Amino acid sequence: MSKSITAEDLNVYYGDFRAVADVNIEIAPRSVTAFIGPSGCGKTTFLRSLNRMHEEVPGARVKGDLYLDDDNIYAPGVDPVTVRSMVGMVFQRPNPFPTMSVRENVLAGHKLNGTRMSKSEADDIVEKALRGANLFNEVKDRMDRPGSGLSGGQQQRLCIARTVAVEPDVILMDEPCSALDPISTLAIEDLIADLKEDYTVVIVTHNMQQAARVSEKTAFFNIAGVGEPGKMVEYDQTSVIFNNPSNEQTERYVAGKFG
């Protein structure tokens, strides 16, 4: 559980268009890293390359190497489905399976993987995952009701429970709070602090206060202009990025001067 992520000269393409260029980054296990930067600089694209979700887009591809600990997830013969079971993802909009109950949603990943288990094993997994997502107490009396009947913030925590239920090494979050109210946002931010005890967490956020609150390290991405690739401009301790960045572009961005 919890692995480091190392990208070496990673380039991400949509067909001929290079959306992200030459990223080199090392992300420590059991940490929270935020990706920030203006719209279109490639944060989501790079995030999705970390679990090979990117290649779901026809024509999309990656050049370079990406390691989970010492294993290159882009090596020939590596099954992207296996990679995605090790590197879970939480999306912008909570997306529980609408026809499934709370319990079935939590077990969805195991069902997809064809894991066989007894009812009591399943009960344990459900309770542990819901506790891990700070949701158990709120849903323990409605396990068999539809997941889509929960509030937006509860649905997002249900999606996090679904992700942690399969015990990944890494959890990627793509603006996980952008559809949530401030109270639900705080609940997710608290949860992120807990998740880093067990997982490597990477979060894309437009909210700089959120990046400052939840992450230990921050990567600032930028883009030189339309049609140009996004690049990682600076990567450092979050406090350095926000208070004493070494790059002038970072300084202007965190000061709110563009983006």
Contacting positions for ligand ATP (CB under 6 A): 14, 19, 37, 39-45, 57, 230
Ranges assigned E (strand) in 91-178: 170-174
Min separation Cβ 258 and ligand ATP, Å: 13
| Measured distance CA(156)–CA(133) in Å, rounded | 9
Closer of 40 and 64 to ligand ATP (Cβ): 40
Closer of 122 and 179 to ligand ATP (Cβ): 179
Closer of 134 and 222 to ligand ATP (Cβ): 222
Min separation Cβ 152 and ligand ATP, Å: 19
Which amino acid, 123? D
Closer of 40 and 149 to ligand ATP (Cβ): 40
User: Which tokens go with 223?
Assistant: 């883009």
CA nearest to 46, candidates 224, 259, 198, 219? 219
Numbers of helices and strands, H then E, in the chain? 10, 10
User: Which tokens go with 91?
Assistant: 């999306």
| Measured distance CA(139)–CA(141) in Å, rounded | 5
Min separation Cβ 64 and ligand ATP, Å: 16
Min separation Cβ 244 and ligand ATP, Å: 24
Closer of 154 and 250 to ligand ATP (Cβ): 250
230-237 vs 87-90, strand pairing mode? unpaired
**Spatial contact of 27 and 4, defined as CB atoms under 8 Å apart:** yes
Q: Which residue has the tokens 């997002």?
A: 156
72 phi/psi in degrees, rounded to 5: -80, 115
Min separation Cβ 235 and ligand ATP, Å: 15
Closer of 47 and 102 to ligand ATP (Cβ): 47
